[in-house]
Structure 1
């Protein structure tokens, strides 16, 4: 089992989208170089002062590449530590060479498990432990101080590993939410397409029966087949982009839609007043868009009830335009903490993207939390496709 864990660690890829440099890197570099200047100027008992100053500056500069090159920076930094310690041993100075400003090396220790691959972590950890063991053997210090130094050196690495695990766990949860949202959308689309196909079959059977006795009625039946077929193809285009679990069966219950929003507003009322406004032709929305509008409003109102502090009202507006449907949900409370969108909104963004729309959520300029969505209206009953020429 241990061998399998090591193999898994060795093949672990690097985290994606590692930032190259941010303002904190330049602040760290400035603080490190400032510390080097002050220490080199004011401190008296510095062994090999020019070498110590160059070495400290070297460590500060290496910190700029700790994210894109974590293994290389750790190898260069701790390799330099080992070489400098061996040189001190050969010269029989008996004192460690370096400045206290070299503590910036802890940033490299943090970056190794945070941004490195599994291979980088194993190899870089070996370099760190080798350099520490060399210093522990060649420098005469009490065992308690060596143990404390070992913990102090590895603590940033443990923090980096914890941060990486937390970020990875959150990304995994978001992916699971998106997968469930895709599966639910695919089930709804499955039911819709099955309904249209059933209507096509019935109209085709009726046209075949009427073809002999009433040709005009048969032509009308064929027009209906064409209409249902075009609508089915449009729903199928959306379905092929959604991921559905092949082993799951389709739910027979029809999904809730815009017609159910008034009931949602009544049941959600209590601590919060839900001001619902519907505008435009909303009765002929494609089923997938109809269900998405309901899900967006439902999730947004639920989040307002759970997280909006001191809120008294949620304003919901659903507006149908010629080519799009706009959904706006705003509350008048305020959020505690960092105001980050939850997992449910991540799933709604995925659903909106699958339908060719977009969804944005965040704190308002003055108060409350705002959710704005725009979904393509798609094909409606009044927007029939032209019949092909024969």
Structure 2
């Protein structure tokens, strides 16, 4: 087979799976039965009208399984209809027969690739057999083919549209999960790391300096309270639009990183330029990148005594640098933190790099467009 034909042949059934049955199916079934009986009663000129009415009523239940077994239901309708047409020496002239188009639509809307190919072949074979046995006029043949093609095309169009919509929704869910993962990592990891560092400091001085131990415990309590507040804010966002939302962190909030300095290394923040001139998405991303960089330095910078956070706001961009004075080390494999920082910068059209510095220690640098992400 050629590639397009093989792709169609191997195509799976439509996803998501169709509903088994809805209330409209019962209404449709009842309407077809009533229409078949009424039409047979009102059109005495149609030959074998009551035979065809009985056949159409008997085949009407195929509509109930048209989504789960589209090929089987269409094949039954075509086989029975063709057989009765050969016996009566003519094709059905009742308009109610048009409900067979619903079965054809269901085949291309829900069926697998194999079902569509074989079902289409059955329709073509049934049409040719009708042409050979009853010799309809050219207008009837062209009209019937046009209606069948239009019905099949409609089923395919809706199928592909719903599939594209489902893929878009899945992509949105993936992006939301990534965003939530970044926020959880940046928020919780930062505060928990500070708590762990201060707990280690408290253990070191507990035996000799009870006053310092009390200060460390107060700092741990403050960090835990901040963690709970931010977690509640994030949960509030997930619970719905009516929940109270915490303000989005901005560039000026980077100064709050100096507050978590009860344990070494100390954090020093320098902010140059107008922090309010950056767009809200850029300011929030810069804050989270700085927060994660400080967390990584506190956890991994060996021998570091200070962490310098420098923010430069220019007319075109926001430049962030986080540098520690610890021992220079080889680049480590990228973890969730480094990956999250790079993703935040890339989403706004910026860039983020991290690695050993020639001055010693480790440096994280992020460059973001000042109005990136602005509506």
- Tell me, yes or no, whether TM beats 0.5: yes
Q: How many corresponding residue pairs?
A: 246
How far off its partner does 1:127 sit? 1.8
How far off its partner does 1:44 sit? 2.5
Distance 1:45 1:101 in 2: 15
Residues 1:114 and 2:109 are matched in the alignment: yes
Match in the other structure for 1:55: 55
Residues 1:129 and 2:162 are matched in the alignment: no
Aligned-partner SS, 1:213: coil
How far off its partner does 1:6 sit? 3.0
Match in the other structure for 1:161: 156
Mapping of residues 367-382 of structure 1, within 5 Å: none
When Rg is computed on C-alpha atoms for both structures, the one with the higher figure is 2
Match in the other structure for 1:36: 36
How far off its partner does 1:24 sit? 2.3
- Please, what TM-score do these two structures have when normalized by structure 2? 0.56
How far off its partner does 1:130 sit? 1.8
Closer, same or farther in 2 for the Cα pair 1:10/1:84, shift >3 Å?
farther
Aligned-partner SS, 2:63: helix
Give the unaligned 5+ runs of structure 2. 247-375
Superposed CA RMSD in Å reads: 3.5
Distance 2:28 2:238 in 1: 46
Distance 1:22 1:211 in 2: 69
How far off its partner does 1:191 sit? 0.6
Match in the other structure for 1:290: 233
Distance 1:109 1:27 in 2: 19
How far off its partner does 1:136 sit? 2.3
Give the unaligned 5+ runs of structure 1. 232-281, 301-315, 321-390
Match in the other structure for 2:68: 68
Of 135, 141, 157, the match for 1:140: 135
- Please, what TM-score do these two structures have when normalized by structure 1? 0.54
How far off its partner does 1:184 sit? 0.8
Mapping of residues 1-390 of structure 1, within 5 Å: 2-3=2-3, 6-7=6-7, 10-88=10-88, 93=89, 95-97=90-92, 99-211=94-206, 213-214=208-209, 217-218=212-213, 221=216, 285-291=228-234, 293=236, 318=244
Aligned-partner SS, 1:161: helix
2:73–2:103: 8 Å Cα contact kept in structure 1? yes
Aligned-partner SS, 2:244: strand
How far off its partner does 1:149 sit? 0.9
